[in-house]
Chain A
Amino acid sequence: MAIRIALAGNPNCGKTTLFNLLTGTHQYVGNWPGVTVEKKEGKLKKHTDVKVTDLPGIYSLSPYTPEEVVARNYLTEEKPEVILNIVDGSHIERNLYLTTQLLELGIPVVVAVNMMDIVRKSGDKIKTAELSKLLGCPVVEISALKNQGTDKAIEECMKAAEGAKPVPQHTFSGPVEHAIAHIEEAVLHDRPEQQQRWYAIKLFERDEKIIEKLGISEETLKHIEEDIKKAETEMDDDAESIITNARYEYIGTLMKKCYHKKNSKALTVSDKIDKVVTNRILALPIFVIVMFLVYSLVMMPVPMPWGDSLGTIMTDWANDGVFGDEGWYLFGIGQGDYDTAMDEYAEKNIWTNEFKADIDKAVKADALGAEDISGAIEDGSFSDFDEAYGTYSSSLEEYFTENNIEYTFTDIYDEATGEDAQELPEKASYGVFVKSIPALLEPAFENAPSWLHGLVFDGIIGGVGAVLGFVPQMLLLFLFLAFLEGCGYMARIAFVLDRVFRRFGLSGKSFIPMLVGSGCGVPGIMASRTIESQRDRRMTIMTTTFIPCGAKMPIIALLTAALFGGAWWVAPSAYFLGVAAIIISGIMLKKTKMFAGDPAPFVMELPAYHLPTVGSILRSMWERGWSFIKKAGTIILISSVLIWLGNTLGWNDGVFGYYEEFGDDGLSILNAIGNAICWIFAPLGFGEATATVATIMGLVAKEEVVGVFGVLDFKGLAPLAGYSFLAFNLLCAPCFAAIGAIKREMNSAKWTLFAVGYQCIFAYATALMIYQFGLLFTGSVNIIGLIAAILVLGIICFMVFRPTPKSHKLKASTA
């Protein structure tokens, strides 16, 4: 018989560990429909006809959180054959509270008391046989971590699935039972008998969701209300309290009979750790150190005195090695020798006196980028030189042609690095040189038509590769996140930072996504999964990408160099802009209808510290990484190909077709679109086709903005328009990869659209204000534009400073 087992239990009770143990690799991870609650299903390792569903970790079956609603809907509608309720033996009192509710559902329940090893070690005693008798359901002792007793638990589940439906052993006081009986009789007689008690209790609690679901008429409701009122008067309390109190009182009697606590006042190890970690004085410094460690290892986009961060090294390897033009040295062996050889070669063959003379001329004339190139030559580093040369050589050429000065440096470079160059060091002779994916594929496409070559290399590998290149770094980050979460520190971060973040409608845990977002928005958005409250999570997802990520750095760097003469304040102002955008958005959004009606109580358990297992950390890391890779394979693939098509299809001399390059009169589809819609950006100061195309290309990857726009095009912009362009591109819709991540985490097309739409509108408003108010100082005021900017400022001020709309009674979650 096909049996479905539902795993239910409190958060941190070891449910996920047990689930992984039972199902091994036969897992499916997804989302419950319409909510951002993770759904996990799997098949038993030993009985593949038994399906296990891992319900979200919950404390109760109330109608107020999406997790709880998802769980109770599954249990009442899908009616699994048996519930395996995992109970944390070290916090048994609170854990049994859920058990009392599960027992009322009319589904066989098996209670597995987990962490029995810890309980025994602390000297406490739980009499499980007695507990089983009192609860009226099987109770087994297990330790998921040490894989003890799990076979027995499954065995009991199989038995229970075929056995009789359970009858809850706990009863409420006389008046309540009286009311419940009345409710059953009045409205529930056509419901399955074993579910009647559950629904009756929920109706007694005035559970709005259940009332709605059962479609109870006003009249009957009034009738029931009389019964409830009567019980309430008699008990001198409200219905919800009566039920909750009764449950905990019942658990109290169970505890007396089955639980013996070794009375020790000694602090546990966890208590001792916590005394230090969330200490009033030490908490913040410790937090800063932990964050700095993680950040400098994983994300740091600029090299520290002791070298690049591990994450940067991994991304460089993936981007320049695996997806690069040539390949990489196995374990980096040979790279050093090759670099030295190249430095020597460059010294002799590239940086000749003529070459240096040209560069010196450019430096004296202050040509863009000349300083960078000459600096690299002085340092004698070919790799630095090559990077600078790649970026700025066209700018230098332009300078020489414009001023009618003869130059030879490009010829020298081309000759020395071309295919016919003698003595040019061969990469393969310095170590085990592994070819990159493009280099490996190249021979296969040698005779392919050029469009196919372009599609594969520029479209697919270029687009998807740019995104997959981040995977190693992301896995590293997820590893750290999984550890912080698993050991219990993540909850403390929320505890320490809650006060700061809640003012902006965010959670203390929003800090991590934003910090990570300064490296890459995609893992930043995915890190938001550690935030329990759906409202805070959505808000965090929407605002995380406002922080300039690593790919936006080149845009900032180039604009700073090209338009602001390398002014020191440009880069910090970009970060300031990002933070301000988050704060303003947070305050505005939390007052909107979409967020205001959905308050999230911050009443949170601080789990005991413990060392997570290596397996659980690796699994968590892989789950997140994999869900991202899947995205890259679908959404990102399609979008990259579309953008590639837009770039290569078009008109040359009036003939439509595929072209590798467009002449002066030619026009690609993307450029045509740019021409058609560039008027939109006119009020922001950059209403021209190139800037528009660059912005569109930014959707593939933000650094593409620089690629399309090029150093020289920036020169055409006035500094003010340039800054407006920068602001817009920093704040508007992120790249496809990040949009994919938003879609994945929001689990709703509507919310994804709202998030991206909001970002674009906010970016537009910001850039509009920057440009129009900026014009005031340059003296060329545009009256209509100025009025528009003042209007926008007024609207934002109103939305920030208006009082929070009275939220109509705290409503049940809409999930």
Chain B
Amino acid sequence: MKTLRQAQVGQTVRVVKLHGEGALRRRMMDMGITKGTEIYIRKIAPLGDPVEVNIRGYELTLRKEDAGIVEIETEEN
């Protein structure tokens, strides 16, 4: 399973499914990370975590650890 955690800076990926449960998952959905959404990986923070992504026209930041619950597919496959 490929997750948002493995995505590279500069890539655009598509959300397949959100795993996990509870507050974190709900929060991600509320912020617009839902099935089929395109996410552009903008950059990684200077200390290596968290990441900044562009989604639905705005900038969102999330920790790599949390990004692990977002299953994605890349354009190539």
Contacts and interface: CB of A to CB of B under 8 A. Distances in A.
B66 A809 contact: no
Interface residues of A, number: 47
Contact of A93 (B24, B32, B35, B47): B32
A163 interface: no
Interface string B1-35: 00000000000000000100111111111111011
Contacts of B47: 496-497, 499-500
A605 B29 contact: no
Contacts of A496: 45-47
Nearest to B63: A602
A810 B23 contact: yes
Contacts of A62: 26-27, 30
B52 interface: yes
Nearest to B50: A498
A91 interface: yes
Contact of A495 (B22, B26, B37, B50): B50
Interface in A486-532: 494-500, 502
Contacts of A601: 23-24, 27-28, 66
A474 B37 CA distance: 45
Contacts of B22: 64, 809-811
Given A59-B31, A499-B50, A604 B60 contact: yes
A64 B26 contact: yes
Contacts, number: 124
A97 B30 CA distance: 8
A606 interface: yes
Which among A237, A498, A502, A604 has the highest number of chain B CB atoms within 10 Å?
Answer: A604
Contacts of A281: 46
A248 interface: yes
A241 B59 contact: no
B23 A64 contact: yes
A36 B44 CA distance: 31
A602 B50 CA distance: 9
B48 A499 contact: yes
Nearest to B51: A495
A778 to B, nearest CB: 43
A71 to B, nearest CB: 13
Interface string A50-84: 00000000011010110000000000000000000
A278 B18 CA distance: 28
A605 B45 contact: no
Interface string A228-259: 00000000010011001100100000000000
Contacts of A237: 35
A603 B31 CA distance: 8
B32 A94 contact: yes
Contacts of B56: 91, 93-94
Contacts of A94: 31-32, 56-58
Nearest to B20: A810
A812 interface: yes
B45 A283 contact: yes
Nearest to A88: B58
Interface in A763-815: 809-813
Given A280-B46, A498-B45, A810-B22, A64 B27 contact: yes
A599 interface: yes
A810 B21 contact: yes
A284 B45 CA distance: 10
Interface string A430-474: 000000000000000000000000000000000000000000000
Interface in B38-77: 43-50, 52, 56-63, 66
B49 A283 contact: no
B29 A603 contact: no
Contacts of B25: 240
B32 A812 contact: no
Nearest to B46: A283
A810 B58 CA distance: 27
A280 B26 contact: no
A245 B34 contact: yes
B14 to A, nearest CB: 14
A278 B23 contact: no
A241 B18 contact: yes
Contacts of B28: 601, 603
B73 to A, nearest CB: 17
Given A59-B30, A248-B34, A606 B52 contact: yes
B66 A602 contact: yes
Contacts of A810: 21-24
Contact of B45 (A499, A608, A812): A499
A494 B59 CA distance: 14
Nearest to B56: A93
B26 A240 contact: yes
A610 B50 CA distance: 23
Which among B29, B44, B48 has the highest number of chain A CB atoms within 10 Å?
Answer: B29
A605 B30 contact: no
Given A244-B30, A244-B34, A495-B50, A599 B23 contact: yes
A245 B23 contact: no
B57 A91 contact: yes
A602 B62 contact: yes
B59 A603 contact: no
A604 B30 contact: no
Given A248-B34, A495-B50, A603 B24 contact: yes
B46 A91 contact: no
A623 B18 CA distance: 41
Contacts of A811: 22
Nearest to B25: A240
Nearest to A602: B63
A274 B42 CA distance: 11
Contacts of B27: 62, 64-65, 601, 603
Contact of A244 (B23, B29, B62): B29
A92 B57 CA distance: 9
A252 to B, nearest CB: 9
Contacts of B49: 498-499
A570 B60 CA distance: 44
A498 B34 CA distance: 25
Q: 9 nearest interchain CB pairs?
A: A810-B22, A60-B30, A606-B59, A64-B23, A601-B24, A244-B29, A499-B47, A283-B46, A93-B56
19 contacts: A62-B30, A64-B26, A64-B27, A91-B58, A94-B56, A97-B32, A240-B25, A240-B26, A494-B61, A495-B52, A498-B45, A498-B63, A502-B63, A599-B23, A603-B61, A605-B58, A606-B52, A809-B22, A810-B23
Given A62-B26, A280-B44, A602-B66, 19 more contacts: A91-B57, A91-B58, A94-B31, A94-B57, A237-B35, A240-B25, A240-B26, A244-B29, A280-B46, A283-B46, A495-B61, A496-B45, A496-B46, A599-B23, A602-B63, A606-B52, A606-B59, A810-B23, A813-B23
Interface of B: 18, 21-32, 34-35, 37, 43-50, 52, 56-63, 66
